[in-house]
Every structure is written in structure tokens, then in C-alpha cells.
Structure 1
């Protein structure tokens, strides 16, 4: 316990930006190891649908203590339809991601996953009615070129795993867009709780058709995946709460580094040069998009604050009438 406090106190006293960077790198490591564990379980012969279902069961087990602490009140909502869409899109993203990781080199899957912010910007135009200027539009085109460098259509045969990785990025962007919509009226606790509850039966249905009796080794691996997912996403979320996206997002590139190392050490995977070049291009465009979104969001917040302040001053000057 003493050693724990010895390690944690200096971290908590460090600047928020340093904490955010450290947590983001930790999240990248945890999620990369999770990807390696998914590949390991898939290599043992367990079907992807079953892995997804058991991972959700494990995630729910680690989530229950927090849920009991928050109470049933967190489930009160009038937007169950929106929650269902968000959970369905998230489930599709999870299945396609797990499949991509099970058949592609880990670094390739992660590199293609970096396209999610690009698809998120496209969805924001049509669903959230956001205005995208020429700079963000150009960044989207650059990111698309980066994806083409990795995929090289016409030069190499597009595998089902590559399509799955891109589809996972698209559906992940859809899930994030739904979170933005829900966050206008719903709490973070409600969004987390409903997603966990709704996605479990969704994943149970396809798992029933491919079910195999898991071994003890597979079950322990799935529990570890659930733990890694929980800790990884907590670290990820906390990092973004401590600093702007434009500060935190560049550290997400560590996911590619860690995934490439895990793939090479444990699965003898060697990504080619095009993967690194394409990933760098995609990542650069994603960072630019994040910076632009952060600036636009801050500008809107400042404008709203000035408007509220001006209205308050006007009401103060007018004063009560007698």
C-alpha cells in the first residue's frame, strides 16, 4: 500500500497535461495488449461471435460494482431508441474490429482504425449538421489518401479483414456521433449503463449459432480482455477529460507502435513500409481535424459565455422597476 501511494502521489501532483499524456500512452498499451489477446483467443479456434459475447459478459462483470454504486436511477431515460441505435452501431463496430484483429496483422488493423475521425467528420455534416470548411475537408481527403496507401486497391488484393477494419472505423465514428447526440440530454453514467445492458443480448444471438464449449484457458483470456478493455477505456476517457483533444490525440499513435511490437514478438507479423507511411498520413489528418474541432468548439463556448455575460450585465443595469 505504501509503495502504491509512493507511485501515485507524484503522478497526481504532476501537471494535468502530463497526466493526460501518461494516461493516453497507458490506454494505448492496454488496448494494444487487448488486441493481441483477441488474436490469441481467435487462434485457439473460438469463433469471433463467441469472443465478442464473452468479452461483453466480462465487461459487464467489471462494470457491475460501479453500476450498483450509481443505482437504478441512472437508467431513467426517454431516449431508449437513440440508445438502441448507439448500441447496435457499437456492436457492429466491435464485431468487425474483432474479426479484423483476428485475421490482419495488428499494426494494419490499427492503422486503418485511425480513419475513424475522418468518417466521424463526414457523419457530423449529415447528422449533427456541422459546417466543415475547406481546411477540414482537405484533411479528410488527405486521410483518405493515407488509407489508400495502406490498402493499395488494384495493386494488392483487398482482404475481407481490411474491409472489416474500415467498416469498424465507420461504425465507430457512428457510435461516437450518437454519443454526441445523446450527451445533449443524457448523463455519461446513463450512456455507459444502457450501452452495456443493450449490447449484451445483441451479441448473445449470433454467439448461440457458433457456440463451442470454452476451455479454462480461453475463459481466463476473455476475462483478461474484459479487464484490459475496462481499464483501457477508463484511462482513455480520463486522459480526454484532463486536456484538449488536440493535446491528447497525438499520443494515440503509440497504439500503432505497441501493436506492431506485439504482432512482431508474439505472432511473427511484419507490417510493410506502406502501412507506416499510410498510418502517418491518416494520423496527421486526424490530428488536424481534432485541432480544428477543438478550436471551433472553444470559439463557440467563448461566444456563448460572452453572450451570457452581456445579457447578465444588461439585466443588472436595468435593475428592478418600482
Structure 2
């Protein structure tokens, strides 16, 4: 693989990591005044506007939003929306390092659910990866020695929802463009947020929250666009491990900005989860090349 492509992939992944970290800080700040549904309403609204501009500027234009798979888009976004709300909910209840470490179980859930939803074979390697992931979760959460609460449960369920989102995205990308996927994502999730926020009244953000809302709206798209662009320059076996750099960065942010403790168990557990992911990735690469 050309060194230039690896450099481009690394730079795009750096953009994705910075986007995810900025989204976490902004999301925690916004929830001082808003709940997750209201946060997601503003995020989806900003994202929808950006996508419309991108579609208008694209050579293919608005014609890209046509799809024969509206039902598939709806399923994908129901899981992604649930996962994103749970992630934002957990964001205020558990340390940032624990949240990200538990989120790293996403690929392991994909490996377990793909045989059911995509008809792929459940191999011993996938089971080994899942076992390592489960052990890693226990090390991170430390049941019995620390208090487990709704935040830990929300983070794990969010990871499962993100895994289902990944699986449905894989199916959709065989038919529709990235901009089409983003259009339906921001539209569906915006309508869901509007329906869930309207009964209690939709609050207007205070002046000091406006920049943070802009950050959430922009990073919600930039993170996924950067990740997709990185995959365009290098295979998933190279790109995916780069995302694990998000853990030490988010840990430093949590310590400096919020005074969170640096816990060795989080890094040990995350390392075990990462090994489980790498075991699955190596097996999938061999199967693809066979």
C-alpha cells in the first residue's frame, strides 16, 4: 500500500477522533440545559441543513436521495437513534474513558449479530473475540468493586445499537450513496426528535450553548464522513485500529477538563476488548482473501 494513502487515511482518522472527542465534550455541556431528545433535535437540524447544501453542490444533485429501500433506512436509523440517545445519556453518568472503552465492544457485537442478520457463519474465532470482549467489559466495569449504574448499562446497549446500525449500513451502502444515507439519517432522526421533544416544549438554547450546539451538529457528520473517507484510502484492517487512539485522548480530556480519575483497569479492559476486535478482523481478512 502506498505511503501517501496511509498518510491520508491517518489524517482522516485523526479528524474522526477529534470529532468524536469534541462531540463528547459538547454533548456533556449541552445536557446541563437539555435532554438527549432535544440535543438530537438540534444536531439533526444542523446536519440536515449541511446535507442539503452538500446535495445541492454535488453533480448528482438532489436526485441522490431517491431510494427503493426506505424501510431499510428506517430500521437503520431507529437503532442508530436509540444508540445515540443512550450514548449521550451515559455521557453524563460515567467517566469518558469508561464510556469509550465500553463503546469499543461495537465490532464484537457486529461479529455476533452478523450471522443472524446477514447470514454469515458464526465461527470459533468470532466466539473467541466475543469472549475476550466480555472479559474486557468486566475489567472496565469492575462489578462488585465499583458501583454499576444506568450509565454502564446505557453504554453497553448503545454499543449493541451501534452494531445493528453498522450491519444495516452495510446493507444500505450496496444500493445508496453516502449523501443519500446522511439525508435519510438526519431527516428521520430529526422527525423522531421533534416528536419526542414537542410534548414538553422545545427549549431555546441560551447564548453560551449556541457554539456547543454547533459543535454537536457539525461533528455528528464530520466524524462519520472522516471515517468513511479513511476507509476509502486504506482497508478496515488498518483503519479500525487507528480509532483505538480515541481512548487515551478522551481519557486525558476527562482528566484535564472534568478531573476524572485515571484508572488502570479501564486501559487493561480496553486492551482486552481491542485484542478481541483484532482477532476478529484478522480472521475476516483471511476469509475475504481466501
Task: Give the TM-score normalised by structure 2.
Answer: 0.92
Pairing 1:57–2:45 present: yes
Match of 1:66 among 15, 40, 54: 54
Pairing 1:41–2:30 present: yes
In structure 2, the residue matched to 1:270 is 261
Unaligned runs of 5+ in 1: 1-12, 300-322
Offset from partner CA, 1:15-55 (integer Å, 9 cap, x none): 1012212221231122112111111222x332222111111
Please give the secondary structure, in 2, of the residue aligned with 1:15. helix
CA distance in 2, matches of 1:166, 1:255: 18
Quickly say closer, same or farther: Cα 1:288–1:25, change in 2 above 3 A: farther
Q: CA deviation at 1:171?
A: 0.3
Q: CA deviation at 1:230?
A: 2.3
CA distance in 2, matches of 1:137, 1:224: 38
Q: CA deviation at 1:14?
A: 5.6
Quickly say closer, same or farther: Cα 1:152–1:292, change in 2 above 3 A: same
Quickly say closer, same or farther: Cα 1:209–1:268, change in 2 above 3 A: farther
CA distance in 1, matches of 2:36, 2:182: 23
Q: CA deviation at 1:204?
A: 1.3
Please give the secondary structure, in 2, of the residue aligned with 1:103. coil
Moved more, 52-61 or 142-151: 52-61
- The answer (yes or no) to whether the contact 2:45–2:186 under 8 Å persists in 1 is no
Please give the secondary structure, in 2, of the residue aligned with 1:201. helix
Match of 2:94 among 92, 95, 104: 104
In structure 1, the residue matched to 2:161 is 171
- The answer (yes or no) to whether the contact 2:98–2:141 under 8 Å persists in 1 is no
Unaligned runs of 5+ in 2: none
Q: Which has the larger radius of gyration?
A: 1
CA distance in 2, matches of 1:25, 1:296: 29
In structure 1, the residue matched to 2:226 is 235
RMSD: 1.7
Quickly say closer, same or farther: Cα 1:64–1:75, change in 2 above 3 A: closer
- The answer (yes or no) to whether the contact 1:108–1:271 under 8 Å persists in 2 is no
Offset from partner CA, 1:69-92 (integer Å, 9 cap, x none): 342311222221111111111110
- The answer (yes or no) to whether the contact 2:44–2:187 under 8 Å persists in 1 is no
Offset from partner CA, 1:243-282 (integer Å, 9 cap, x none): 1111111111111111111111111111422111111111
- The answer (yes or no) to whether the contact 1:245–1:291 under 8 Å persists in 2 is no
CA distance in 1, matches of 2:286, 2:3: 25
Offset from partner CA, 1:98-146 (integer Å, 9 cap, x none): 1111221111110100000011111101010111321222111111110
Pairing 1:22–2:22 present: no
In structure 2, the residue matched to 1:197 is 187
CA distance in 1, matches of 2:212, 2:40: 13
Match of 1:158 among 107, 123, 148: 148
CA distance in 2, matches of 1:187, 1:50: 28
